[in-house]
Amino acid sequence: MRDPNAPPIRLLLVEDNPGDARLVRLLLAEAGGFEFNHVETMAAAKAWLDGNGAEAVLLDLSLPDSHGLETIDRMRRLAPLMPIIVFTGLADEDTGVAAVKRGCQDYLVKGVGDGHMISRTVLYAIERKTLEVERQQSAERMKKVLLQTVRAMSLTLEMRDPYTAGHQRRVAQLAVAIGRHMGWSEHTLEGLQTGALIHDLGKINVPSDFLSRPGKLSDAAFGVVRSHAAVGAEIVEGIDFPWPVAAMIRQHHERLDGSGYPLGLVGSQIIPEARILAVADVVEAISSHRPYRPALGMEAALSEIRDHTVTRYDPEVVEACLAVIRTEGEAVFGEAALGH
């Protein structure tokens, strides 16, 4: 129940029918607790919101300068955090569902219900929007902490393996550049970067001597090194990432023809993120120094992915990688990131 001593709620009605506007004004006056404001067009709504505040909007979907569901999109762009209640003469369930999917908090049909029902609907819409914003803010905070933890894990691993210091970061930079060239969304790129930054996390379970020993490893030692993909995936499997990070880590050494490890996956069994990581990982590794050999250079790295496209590496990913390197060269391994 609303506190009678609370300040009135500033409500904006966007409605081009003067009769409907007068009726809403009268009904809300009876219910009490509202500062009622009325405009007739989207242009007038923009002007009003630019100079005044509102806590909720009642929005007609048929206006002189806007019609249909696009009206909702325009209002959300004007006031992203303001709760929107559709106010229409169309008693259509499909329209109501579509309105909610587009971010509205509720749907009112003109002529149905009294001022108290409108009041309750507006109050409920404000409460729902407040909770939605709080959940989003909480999720952003959690994601920030998660990504900070990922970076700490990445740095911890690099401290154990000085020969590959920066490898995971450099792979992440190239992987994101490839994904961006392929038109991936920023959210998906964020997940790709997260997986890339810890794709070798399982090496924390590999003796440092195996990682830094010059010369060829024994089959047994090499088997331990190869276990890092599965071990890394197991470490993060219990973390509720909003992306398939465990699968990225487990699959980054898989190859399209089934010659990779640890599972010998083929073709579409390998997720798209892991296909990008496979290319970025091998390009960075071949072009950089390793304890068992000097850097072979970028041309050798690009020859590897060109020569084994389709068999080992995804052709679309290879094409994107070649385009990125042609444009940016080794500067792609720099510090530019997604902005977090």
Kindly state whether residues 50 and 185 are assigned to the same domain.
Answer: no
- CATH number of the domain to which 56 belongs: 3.40.50.2300
pLDDT confidence of residue 237: 87
Kindly state whether residues 173 and 83 are assigned to the same domain.
Answer: no
Helix (H) or strand (E) holding 86: strand 84-88
Last residue of a domain, one of 96, 118, 133: 133
Task: Mark 238-266 as b/e (b = at least 16 C-beta within 10 Å).
Answer: eeebebbbbbbbbbbbbbbeeebbbeebe
Q: What is the dihedral of CA 50, 54, 60, 61, to 10 degrees?
A: 60
Kindly state whether residues 129 and 180 are assigned to the same domain.
Answer: no
Domain assignment present for 140: no
Kindly give, in sequence order, each residue whose CB lies less than 8 Å from that of residue 95, ignoring residues fewer than 6 positions away: 61, 69, 86, 88, 107
pLDDT confidence of residue 312: 96
> How many residues does this entry show for the chain?
340
Band (pLDDT 50/70/90 cuts) for residue 118 is confident
pLDDT confidence of residue 91: 74
Report percent pLDDT > 90 for the chain. Answer: 38
Average pLDDT over residues 128-153: 77
pLDDT confidence of residue 186: 93
Digit-coded pLDDT (tens) for 227-269: 989 999 998 888 888 899 999 999 999 999 999 999 999 999 9
Domain assignment present for 148: no
Judge whether residue 321 has pLDDT over 70: yes
Kindly state whether residues 69 and 205 are assigned to the same domain.
Answer: no
pLDDT confidence of residue 185: 95
Band (pLDDT 50/70/90 cuts) for residue 162 is low
pLDDT confidence of residue 225: 79
Judge whether residue 296 has pLDDT over 90: no
Judge whether residue 154 has pLDDT over 60: yes
Judge whether residue 165 has pLDDT over 80: no
Q: Which residue has the higher pLDDT, 33 or 248?
A: 248
Kindly state whether residues 95 and 196 are assigned to the same domain.
Answer: no
Domain that holds residue 322: 161-333
Band (pLDDT 50/70/90 cuts) for residue 303 is very high
pLDDT confidence of residue 4: 64
Domain assignment present for 63: yes
Kindly state whether residues 85 and 228 are assigned to the same domain.
Answer: no
Kindly state whether residues 110 and 242 are assigned to the same domain.
Answer: no
Domain assignment present for 220: yes
Residue among 46, 144, 203, 216 flagged as catalytic: 203
Kindly state whether residues 222 and 98 are assigned to the same domain.
Answer: no
Last residue of a domain, one of 118, 133, 148: 133
Domain assignment present for 318: yes
Report percent pLDDT > 70 for the chain. Answer: 90
Q: Which residue has the higher pLDDT, 148 or 232?
A: 232
Kindly state whether residues 215 and 285 are assigned to the same domain.
Answer: yes
Last residue of a domain, one of 133, 151, 172: 133
The answer to whether residues 233 and 204 touch, using CB atoms and an 8 Å cutoff, is no
Domain assignment present for 179: yes
Domain assignment present for 309: yes
Helix (H) or strand (E) holding 98: helix 93-101
Average pLDDT over residues 82-108: 84
pLDDT confidence of residue 163: 60
**DSSP symbols for 193-246:** HHHHHTTTGGGGGS-HHHHH--SPPPHHHHHHHHTHHHHHHHHHTTS--SS-HH
Kindly state whether residues 171 and 208 are assigned to the same domain.
Answer: yes
For the CA atoms of the chain, what is the radius of gyration? 28
Kindly state whether residues 31 and 96 are assigned to the same domain.
Answer: yes
- CATH number of the domain to which 218 belongs: 1.10.3210.10
Digit-coded pLDDT (tens) for 119-131: 888 888 888 888 8
User: Could you tell me the maximum CA-CA distance found in the chain, to the nearest angstrom?
Assistant: 87
203 tagged catalytic: yes
Centre a 10 Å sphere on the Cβ of residue 133 and count the other Cβ atoms it contains: 13
Average pLDDT over residues 155-178: 80
Domain assignment present for 2: no
Nearest to 298 by CA among 280, 311, 273, 316: 280
Q: Which residue has the higher pLDDT, 292 or 92?
A: 92
When the pLDDT of each residue in the chain is averaged and rounded to a whole number, the result is 85
Average pLDDT over residues 10-16: 91
Count of the separate structural domains present in the chain: 2
Residue 107's beta-bridge partner residues?
86
Judge whether residue 192 has pLDDT over 90: yes
Lowest-pLDDT range, 31-45, 69-83, 94-108, 205-219? 205-219
Kindly state whether residues 111 and 168 are assigned to the same domain.
Answer: no
